[in-house]
């Protein structure tokens, strides 16, 4: 089933979740690697690839939010404490917000650089919303990296919460995103 129900995530929501999860974790690892390898002549190439995938992450995140907005969100089990419901809502909102923030700061960094990272896999140029400015580029990059670490912490928290639901509570909350199997008592 492509659409969500009151008890289950649909196949498109699951596809968005796993594609974005893999892309975000890959981008965090790739970004860390890029910033911890010695400077080389081909560094611009690696940063361009990082930017291109970042544009895709931003687009997919917006599409996921639109899809989530027009579909029901599966309910947590009835016995879920109020604080866990609030924590889930806040942490999911933070994941979306910080993902968008990281991507926008990267995009701002691109436009403030000269040359920029607007060439999207050689297919077309992504419009830039900032102007070349070396000091601004450094500031955007610093904020991009800092918010990427915040995003990493949120991802770790998200994975820990999923593991808690799967292995400790055994309430099938995580299972709904893995295979679409809803808890029959929810």
| pLDDT (0 to 100) of residue 37 | 80
Q: Using a CB cutoff of 8 Å and minimum separation of 24, what contacts does 8-15 make? A: 8/74, 8/176, 8/180, 8/181, 8/182, 9/74, 9/176, 9/177, 9/180, 10/71, 10/180, 11/180, 12/67, 13/64, 13/67, 13/68, 13/71, 14/177, 14/180
- Name the class of domain 11-178: mainly alpha
| pLDDT (0 to 100) of residue 186 | 38
| pLDDT (0 to 100) of residue 163 | 96
pLDDT averages per 10-residue partition of the chain, 186 residues: 93 97 98 85 90 98 97 94 96 98 98 96 97 98 98 98 95 88 46
The pair of structure tokens assigned to 42 is 């081909």
| pLDDT (0 to 100) of residue 69 | 96
| pLDDT (0 to 100) of residue 180 | 61
Q: Where are the domains of the chain?
A: 11-178
| pTM score, whole prediction | 0.93
């Amino acid at each position: 089933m492509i659409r969500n129900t009151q008890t289950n995530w649909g196949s498109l929501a699951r596809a968005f979740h796993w594609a974005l999860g893999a892309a975000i974790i890959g981008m965090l690892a790739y970004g860390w690697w890029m910033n911890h390898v010695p400077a080389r002549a081909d560094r611009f190439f690696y940063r361009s690839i990082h930017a291109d995938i970042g544009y895709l992450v931003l687009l997919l995140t917006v599409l996921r939010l639109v899809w989530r907005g027009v579909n029901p969100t599966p309910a947590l089990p009835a016995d879920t404490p109020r604080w866990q419901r609030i924590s889930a809502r806040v942490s999911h909102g933070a994941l979306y917000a910080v993902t968008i923030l990281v991507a926008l700061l990267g995009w701002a960094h691109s436009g403030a650089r000269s040359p920029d990272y607007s060439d999207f896999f050689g297919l077309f140029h992504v419009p830039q919303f900032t102007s070349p400015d070396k000091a601004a580029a450094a500031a955007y990059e610093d904020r991009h990296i800092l918010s990427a670490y915040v995003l990493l912490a949120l991802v770790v928290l998200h994975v820990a919460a999923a593991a808690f639901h799967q292995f400790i509570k055994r309430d099938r909350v995580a299972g709904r995103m893995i295979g679409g199997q809803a808890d029959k008592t929810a």
